[in-house]
């Protein structure tokens, strides 16, 4: 009986976390949606311009800062990427995307230990597993120092 209750509690926590994440995404502005489209098109500079305008107008969310980090990382602006991921994680410490992407950025600069720390964080956050954990785990396993 205790196992069933613990399982139900864990499931309710997961569902409430998923709801909170999806509701945040549902309130994105047109600028954020346009930035997401720019990111899909690999227009990193265009995405950054749109996202910076969103931050100036509305202060931004963890998702906005995560997108900023992602766009900067893809341009090779690692210092800016780290700054934006840190902001996203300060706003939302369990932001799965920010943990995955900052881990990928640490791999890009040759810091395997920090990438593993974010992999460990995802392991704790993703109680039943998640794509972000799987992706970072694969990247860590494939990592070879330059």
Q: Which regions of 55-127 does DSSP assign to beta strands (E)?
A: none
Q: What is the largest CA-CA distance in the chain?
A: 55
H or E stretch at 133: helix 131-142
List Cβ<8 Å contacts ≥24 apart for 12-15. Answer: 13/127, 14/127, 14/128
pLDDT value, residue 2? 53
Query: What phi, psi does 105 have (nearest 5°)?
Result: -65, -40
Residue whose C-alpha is closest to residue 12's, from 128, 130, 131: 128
Query: What phi, psi does 28 have (nearest 5°)?
Result: -60, 145
pLDDT value, residue 108? 97
What residue ranges define each of the domains in the chain, with the CATH number in brackets?
29-142 (1.25.40.10)
pLDDT in tens, the chain (146 residues): 555 444 334 444 444 344 334 334 434 689 899 999 999 999 999 999 999 999 999 999 999 999 999 999 999 999 999 999 999 999 999 999 999 999 999 999 999 999 999 999 999 999 899 999 999 999 999 999 88
Count of alpha carbons within 13 angstroms of residue 55, beta-carbon side = 17
Contact between residue 55 and residue 64 where contact means Cβ atoms under 8 Å apart: yes
């Amino acid at each position: 009986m205790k196992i069933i209750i613990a399982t139900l509690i864990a499931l309710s926590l997961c569902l409430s976390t998923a709801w909170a994440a999806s509701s945040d995404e549902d309130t994105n502005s047109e600028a954020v949606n346009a930035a997401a489209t720019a990111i899909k098109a690999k227009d990193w500079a265009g995405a950054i311009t749109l996202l910076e305008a969103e931050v100036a107008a509305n202060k931004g969310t963890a998702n906005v800062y995560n997108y900023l980090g992602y766009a900067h990382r893809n341009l090779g602006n690692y210092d800016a990427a780290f700054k934006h991921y840190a902001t996203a994680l300060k706003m939302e410490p369990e932001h799965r995307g920010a943990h995955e992407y900052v881990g990928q950025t640490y791999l890009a600069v040759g810091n395997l230990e920090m990438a593993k720390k974010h992999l460990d964080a995802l392991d704790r956050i993703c109680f039943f597993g998640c794509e972000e954990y799987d992706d970072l785990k694969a990247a860590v396993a494939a990592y070879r120092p330059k």
